[in-house]
């Protein structure tokens, strides 16, 4: 321990002591821990090699000195596991802080906690809109008063959780929430980016140029404005992606995007150069035939020597969809669809009757 890392450790230790005293009234906690940071800083200023004691044990000593009863420690395997993890975490932190560079980095991260509280509330808002409200896309910032109010409430709640010291069960839940928010941050940002791209595509659809679909090709497969379509992704009326969709043209012929055995690219580098070729794979029908009109198509790893055939043992892999979800149709209710289908059937049967 050194002078540059001592204040951060003492602040963390004092917070843990107050958390261990959280069952007491706030005024008693304030009286027991008044000036705790200053006293610790003075006591450890001359002996930096000393390690801070266990905060729970220190809190028990404060209780005993004040004549307050010590709460009965909860028993059970779950509590023992939680205690072991807490002790292991403190051991890891002490080991990391032996390095001045790592210790300085940890101190810097501590100063960023208020910013994380705000980001955590924003992530909660995004997840709430996508899951509870069923929105297909969310903006970085809300677009109306109700959503602004929701965002403000969630951010305020996140800041409130971060500013207070909590008992261990609540602290564990907060840690789990932090982990979930950290993992959800990347897909939430990706959804915002792809949603904006999809919205732009709806607002500015490409113009079709007659005949341009066959420039530079032999006319085989599906083309769009001079570019070959290699895969097709279908979405239902609710905007959800579908798998295993068989497509046919107006004459009942299978709709294929490329000739059987066509090759593609499984992985690319940062320069958009193919580093791992791939071969499109057909789907086996119940008749035993291979179908090339089932979408979205899958791809298996191949070689540069023969990119049209998968290497031995290669497994067909899903290709990334352009969007996780698209806007739903105005009439997207399965019940409504079923009623329309039944009405059409009744009308058709009625016409057949004499």
pLDDT in tens, 125-140: 888 887 887 665 667 7
pLDDT surpassing 80 at residue 284 = yes
Of the listed ranges 157-171, 207-221, 231-245, the least confidently predicted one is 207-221
Q: What is the mean pLDDT of residues 174-182?
A: 85
Q: What is the mean pLDDT of residues 271-297?
A: 85
Q: What is the mean pLDDT of residues 281-286?
A: 85
Rounded Cα distance, 60 and 24, in Å: 12
pLDDT of 210 reads 37
Chain centre distance of CA 20: 33
pLDDT of 212 reads 35
pLDDT band at 328 (very low <50, low <70, confident <90, very high): confident
pLDDT of 350 reads 54
Query: What digits encode the pLDDT tens for the residues 67-104?
Result: 777 665 555 565 666 667 667 777 777 777 788 888 78
pLDDT surpassing 70 at residue 220 = no
* Residue with more model confidence, 17 or 340: 17
Structure tokens at 144: 């109306």
- Helix (H/G/I), strand (E/B), else coil: 147: helix
* Residue with more model confidence, 117 or 340: 117
- The closest alpha carbon to 54, from 3, 104, 12, 1, belongs to 12
pLDDT surpassing 70 at residue 42 = yes
pLDDT surpassing 60 at residue 185 = yes
pLDDT band at 155 (very low <50, low <70, confident <90, very high): very high
Of the listed ranges 70-79, 206-215, 244-253, the least confidently predicted one is 206-215
Q: Are 82 and 75 in contact (CB under 8 A)?
A: no
User: Do you know the residue count of the chain?
Assistant: 354
pLDDT band at 152 (very low <50, low <70, confident <90, very high): very high
pLDDT surpassing 80 at residue 45 = no
* Residue with more model confidence, 36 or 154: 154
CA 156-161-162 angle, 5° bins? 95
For residue 180, list its beta bridge partners: none
Rounded Cα distance, 201 and 196, in Å: 9
> What stretches of 194-329 adopt beta strand conformation (E)?
222-224, 227-229, 245-246, 263-268, 274-281, 283-284, 290-291, 294-295, 298-301, 317-318
pLDDT of 201 reads 52
pLDDT surpassing 60 at residue 168 = yes
pLDDT of 3 reads 43
Mean pLDDT of the chain: 75
pLDDT of 110 reads 77
Q: What percent of the chain has pLDDT over 90?
A: 6
pLDDT of 137 reads 63
Query: What digits encode the pLDDT tens for the residues 294-322?
Result: 999 898 888 888 877 888 888 888 888 88
Of the listed ranges 60-74, 147-161, 239-253, the least confidently predicted one is 60-74
pLDDT of 4 reads 43
Cis peptide before 296 (omega within 30 of 0): yes
Whether this prediction's pTM lies above 0.85 is answered by no
Rounded Cα distance, 278 and 271, in Å: 18
């Amino acid at each position: 321990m050194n002078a540059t890392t001592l204040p951060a450790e003492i602040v963390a230790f004092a917070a843990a002591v107050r958390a261990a005293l959280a069952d007491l009234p706030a005024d008693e906690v304030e009286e027991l821990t008044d000036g705790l940071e200053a006293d610790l800083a003075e006591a450890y200023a001359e002996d930096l090699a000393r390690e801070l004691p266990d905060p729970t044990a220190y809190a028990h000593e404060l209780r005993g000195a004040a004549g307050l009863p010590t709460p009965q420690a909860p028993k059970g395997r779950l509590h023992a596991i939680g205690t072991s993890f807490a002790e292991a975490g403190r051991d890891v932190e002490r080991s990391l802080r032996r390095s001045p560079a790592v210790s300085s980095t940890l101190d810097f991260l501590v100063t960023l906690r208020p910013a994380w509280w705000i980001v955590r509330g924003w992530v909660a808002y995004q997840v709430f809109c996508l899951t509870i409200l069923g929105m297909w896309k969310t903006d970085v910032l809300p677009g109306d008063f109700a959503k602004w109010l929701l965002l403000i409430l969630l951010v305020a709640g996140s800041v409130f959780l971060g500013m207070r010291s909590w008992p261990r069960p609540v602290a564990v839940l907060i840690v789990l929430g932090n982990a979930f928010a950290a993992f959800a941050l990347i897909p939430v940002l990706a959804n915002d980016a792809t949603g904006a791209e999809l919205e732009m595509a709806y607002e500015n659809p490409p113009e079709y140029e007659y005949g341009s679909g066959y420039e530079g090709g032999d006319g085989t497969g599906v083309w769009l404005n001079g570019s070959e379509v290699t895969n097709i992704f279908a979405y239902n009326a609710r905007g959800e992606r579908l798998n295993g969709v068989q497509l046919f043209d107006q004459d009942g012929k299978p709709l294929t995007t490329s000739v059987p055995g066509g090759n593609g690219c499984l992985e690319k580098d940062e320069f958009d150069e193919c580093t791992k070729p791939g071969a499109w794979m057909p789907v086996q029908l119940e008749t035993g035939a291979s179908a090339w009109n089932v979408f979205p198509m899958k791809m298996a790893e191949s070689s540069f020597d023969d990119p049209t055939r998968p290497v031995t043992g290669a497994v067909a892999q899903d290709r990334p969809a352009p969007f996780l979800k698209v806007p739903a149709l105005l009439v997207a209710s399965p019940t409504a669809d079923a009623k329309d289908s039944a009405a059409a059937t009744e009308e058709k049967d009625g016409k057949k009757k004499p």
